[in-house]
């Protein structure tokens, strides 16, 4: 799922291309993507784009007439910018927004159709779509600590909960926790003051560094090949590969459709966290420390 750095780059790229332009036409290729009926999507046509915003993991086109087009990419949704005469991919295109300067294609790979497009009127309706997560980039330590400890969750769950923190998902939470040298299963209300400070610093630094890295790579181009797996990442998607800090093999916890990657030596004092499926299967044979892996 695209997270804060990717969404920020989409926002920048769209703002540079469509701000001040009229939305000439909206073509809905898959009716499932449009989740609102009032106001009708046709009302967006002809309206100029006044601003482009990021709202958590959502992208918002602010239109004239107090209208807001809200894109939620979910896991497999992506945005593609096509110049004059460009053709979007047929089977995965959900919607097309036509501007004088080009076309924005909203696509989604796979068959689950989780991505969504909403058209709402008024700031109150837009605010109702905001999960309310804290913007970690602008929050000071006190605000970050208050939000972190408001409920007692594991760090992995807290960082990825959109009601608690804005724009952080599976990939960057792995990177943040590795940078902070904290276990993904540590409980938020059990952290020391130093732990909270390290986590606050790591959250800001990881998100800023990755946003700037991706911005530098794009050099003004529209984001392509947006992915949660990047070779420069420390632990996310690196199961079995050496940790760039200590060299120990990166570990994982598999759950639902995701996995959590971490370094046992850097983050958990050498302890391997129980993978629900494998630890139950191996029982007493489950290697509980990184050193037992030999």
Q: How far apart are CA 256 and CA 237, in angstroms?
A: 16
With b for 16 or more beta-carbon neighbours within 10 A and e for fewer, the 161-188 pattern comes to ebebbbbbbbbbbbbbbbbbbbbbbbeb
- ∠ CA 58-262-276, rounded to 5°: 95
What are the tens digits of pLDDT across the range 232-260?
999 999 999 999 999 999 999 987 678 89
DSSP string, 268-286: STTBPPPPHHHHHHHGGGS
3-state secondary structure of 182: coil
For the stretch 149-196, pLDDT in tens is 999 999 999 999 999 999 999 999 999 999 999 999 999 999 999 999
Q: What confidence score (pLDDT) does residue 276 get?
A: 56
- Residue ranges of the alpha helices (H) in 19-150? 123-127, 141-148
pLDDT for 287: 42
Q: How confident is the model at residue 286 (pLDDT cuts 50, 70, 90)?
A: very low
**Separation of alpha carbons 108 and 223, rounded Å:** 15
Q: Where does residue 4 rank: exposed (0-12), middle (13-18), buried (19+ CB within 10 A)?
A: buried
What domains sit in the chain, N to C, each tagged with a CATH number? Answer: 4-127 (3.20.190.10), 141-293 (1.10.8.50)
Q: Is the pLDDT of residue 275 over 90?
A: no
Is residue 22 pLDDT above 70, yes or no?
A: yes
Q: Read off the tokens for 114.
A: 């989780």
3-state helix, strand, coil in the chain (%, to 5): 35, 25, 45
Q: Which two tokens stand for residue 231?
A: 């070779």
Torsion angle, CA of 281/282/288/294, rounded to 10 degrees? -130
Share of the chain above pLDDT 90, in %: 86
Query: Which has more confidence, 291 or 119?
Result: 119
- Return the higher-pLDDT residue of 33 and 279: 33
Distance (Å, whole) CA 227 – CA 241: 19
State residue 283's pLDDT score.
Answer: 43
Query: Are 221 and 159 a contacting pair, CB within 8 Å?
Result: no
106, 42 in Cβ contact below 8 A?
no
The structure tokens listed for 59 are 């992208």
Q: Comparing 280 with 213, which gets the higher pLDDT?
A: 213
**What is the pLDDT at residue 274?**
79
Phi, psi of 112 (to 5 degrees): -80, -20
Q: What is the pLDDT of residues 119-145, one digit of tens each?
A: 999 999 999 999 999 999 999 999 999
Q: Helix 193-218 crosses helix 141-148 at what angle (to 10 degrees)?
A: 110
Q: What is the pLDDT averaged over residues 203-221?
A: 96
Q: What is the mean pLDDT of residues 81-97?
A: 91
197 — pLDDT class (breaks 50, 70, 90): very high
Q: How confident is the model at residue 284 (pLDDT cuts 50, 70, 90)?
A: very low
């Amino acid at each position: 799922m695209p997270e804060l750095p990717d969404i920020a780059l989409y926002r920048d790229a769209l703002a540079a291309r469509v701000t001040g332009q009229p939305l000439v036409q909206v073509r809905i290729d898959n009716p499932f993507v449009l989740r609102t009926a009032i106001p009708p999507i046709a009302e967006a046509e002809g309206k100029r784009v006044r601003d482009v915003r990021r709202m958590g993991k959502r992208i918002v086109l602010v239109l004239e007439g107090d209208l807001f087009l809200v894109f939620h990419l979910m896991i497999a949704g992506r945005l593609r910018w096509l110049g004059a005469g460009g053709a979007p991919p047929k089977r995965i295109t959900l919607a097309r927004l036509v501007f004088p300067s080009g076309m924005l294609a909203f696509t989604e790979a796979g068959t689950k159709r989780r991505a969504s497009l909403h058209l709402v009127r008024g700031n109150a309706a837009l605010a109702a779509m905001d999960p309310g997560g804290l913007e970690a980039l602008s929050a000071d330590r006190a605000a970050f600590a208050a939000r972190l400890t408001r409920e007692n969750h594991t760090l992995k769950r807290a960082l990825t909960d959109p009601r608690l923190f804005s724009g952080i998902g599976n990939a960057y939470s792995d990177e943040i926790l590795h940078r902070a040298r904290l276990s993904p299963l540590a409980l938020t209300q059990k952290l020391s003051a130093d732990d909270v400070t390290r986590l606050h610093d790591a959250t800001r630094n990881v998100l800023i560094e990755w946003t700037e890295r991706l911005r530098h790579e794009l050099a003004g181009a529209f984001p392509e090949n947006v992915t949660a797996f990047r070779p420069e990442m420390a632990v996310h998607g690196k199961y079995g590969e050496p940790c760039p800090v200590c060299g120990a093999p990166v570990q994982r916890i598999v759950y639902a459709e995701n996995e959590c990657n971490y370094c046992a030596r850097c983050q958990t004092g050498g302890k391997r966290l129980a993978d629900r499926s494998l630890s139950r299967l191996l029982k007493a044979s489950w290697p509980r420390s990184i050193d037992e892996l030999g």
